[in-house]
């Protein structure tokens, strides 16, 4: 609405300057073009109030648009005074030229910053801030894509669900800062033990999920055992300098021909529940033909 009003005022101002001329003698492209440029400059100044740009970008656009406005306004005033369309003076043309260059540079800089900020915000929305791993939202997207690709190409896909054993005790005894350090360290352990093509996510709390693209049962079990051993070999320093270890229970399943995301996740959770029930600090497997081997785990049973 604002843009339409300013465009109208700009065109009206330039058209009024040509009053008294025959319609065929009026330079209509100049009337419309000049009015539009004036409107663009004015609207850009208004938009500056809403721009999320750096100080340098702001002043580039502000200076450029100010020169554009000055040059265009002087052009309109000259035409009112002369009463006919006239060529601009060199100061006016210089102001327009410099203003256009500065505005273009500023808008280009702002566009790049906006794109970078958008990518950063998108990455933040899909990343767990504590561990740097993918969060639950990105996990759901990636798992669906991975399953579709594996079914389409008839390639292997395995899933590991990992949960830190008795993690609540770590927070209760040693504090949440120590618990956060354990989570960050565990994230690093998984990254070191996995391939670059494996997808690692923090699905919530002390529970994690790893999507192993192209990995069959044997490779997935080897990957899980590697993670379990690496973690159990580490010592953490807790309250009062007390040393303690943390273990993880792991559930493993792999893709079947009739699987969807829900059935794959359900079996992985069942396998994790079996590992917890069987003594923790271990890896248990449930395949596509064992979907009803155990009841669905509850939140209180997996800890």
Catalytic entry in 206, 222, 225, 290? 206
Q: Are residues 93 and 146 in contact, defined by beta-carbon separation less than 8 angstroms?
A: no
Q: Please give the Cα distance from 81 to 18 (Å, whole number).
A: 10
Q: Please give the Cα distance from 102 to 59 (Å, whole number).
A: 9
Q: Please give the Cα distance from 284 to 147 (Å, whole number).
A: 21
Helix, strand, or coil (residue 162): strand
Sign for the CA dihedral angle at 123, 126, 128, 129 comes to: positive
Query: What separation in angstroms does the CA of 168 have from each of 98, 129, 176, 229?
Result: 64, 20, 9, 21
Note if 92 is an active site residue.
no
Catalytic residues: 206
């Amino acid at each position: 609405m604002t843009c339409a009003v300013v465009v109208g005022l700009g065109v009206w101002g330039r058209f009024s300057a040509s009053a008294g001329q025959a319609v065929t003698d009026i330079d209509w492209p100049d009337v419309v073009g000049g009015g539009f440029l004036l409107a663009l400059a004015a609207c850009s100044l208004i938009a500056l109030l809403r721009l999320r740009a750096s100080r340098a970008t702001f002043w580039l656009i502000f200076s450029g648009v100010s020169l554009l406005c000055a040059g265009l306004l002087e052009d309109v005033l000259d035409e009112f005074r002369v009463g006919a369309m006239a060529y601009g003076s060199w100061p006016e043309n210089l102001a327009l030229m410099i203003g256009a260059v500065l505005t273009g540079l500023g808008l280009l800089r702002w566009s790049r910053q906006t794109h970078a900020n958008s990518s950063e915000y998108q990455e933040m929305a899909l990343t767990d801030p504590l561990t740097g791993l993918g969060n639950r939202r990105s996990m759901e997207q990636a798992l669906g894509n991975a399953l579709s690709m594996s079914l389409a190409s008839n390639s292997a896909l395995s899933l590991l669900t990992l949960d830190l054993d008795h993690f609540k005790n770590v927070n209760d005894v040693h504090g949440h800062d120590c618990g956060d350090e354990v989570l960050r360290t565990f994230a690093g352990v998984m990254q070191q033990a996995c391939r670059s093509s494996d997808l690692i996510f923090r699905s919530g709390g002390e529970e994690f999920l790893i999507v192993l693209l192209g990995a069959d049962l044997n490779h997935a079990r080897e990957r899980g055992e590697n993670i379990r051993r690496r973690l159990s070999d580490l010592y953490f320093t807790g309250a009062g300098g007390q040393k303690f270890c943390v273990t993880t229970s792991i559930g493993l399943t792999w893709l079947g021909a009739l699987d969807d995301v829900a059935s794959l996740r359900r079996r992985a959770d069942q396998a994790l529940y079996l590992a917890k029930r069987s003594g923790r600090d271990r890896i248990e497997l449930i395949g596509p033909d064992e979907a009803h081997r155990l009841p669905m785990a509850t939140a209180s049973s997996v800890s």
